[in-house]
Amino acid sequence: MEGAYILRPNDSSLDPVQAVAAYKELQGVERGFRYLKDVLSVRPVYHQAPSRVRGHLFVAHLALVLGCALEKKLRAAGLSMNLDTALDALRPVRLVTLSLAETELQEVVTKPNSHAQAVLKAARIRQSSAPKPGCCATA
């Protein structure tokens, strides 16, 4: 039948509504991995060492988790942007280092446009200022 599908979950404790929700969540995860492969160009990468494979998979999984979290924030904020549009909106936001003549270096964040501001607000990032020196661990 066109437009209908049958689900048979392997968890008998799920009612039909929960089974459909779990199936749709699975579709979302699969869509996310397809997105990683296509848009973020995660493939093909040939690693020689197992530690590099684990590192690559960690970064890919982290990108998927962060992308899903941002999509949820966008929906909760009532924005109709998808992840690709949100990332495009954030692309012009940069951390810039300024150096004028004999003046010491100063780091500033470029001013986000209205679309980027909407994404940052949805993600609850209120202040777009340069990170403070020593705030992050270095390797």
Domain boundaries, the chain: 16-79
pLDDT in tens, the chain (139 residues): 566 777 778 888 888 888 888 887 777 777 777 766 665 555 566 778 888 888 877 887 788 888 888 989 999 999 998 888 898 898 888 888 777 777 767 777 888 889 999 999 999 887 656 566 655 544 4
pLDDT at 139: 42
Cα of first residue to Cα of last residue in the chain, in angstroms, is 57
Q: What are phi and psi of 21, to 5 degrees?
A: -60, -40
Residue of 66, 71, 85 whose CA lies nearest to 122: 71
- Partners of 106 in the beta sheet? 98
**DSSP letter assigned to residue 103:** S
pLDDT at 127: 65
pLDDT at 135: 58
pLDDT at 63: 81
pLDDT at 42: 57
pLDDT at 25: 78
> What region does 72 belong to: left with phi over 0, alpha with psi -120 to 50, or beta?
alpha
How many angstroms separate the Cα of 37 from the Cα of each of 43, 60, 111?
6, 9, 31
pLDDT at 99: 78
Omega cis (within 30) before 44: yes
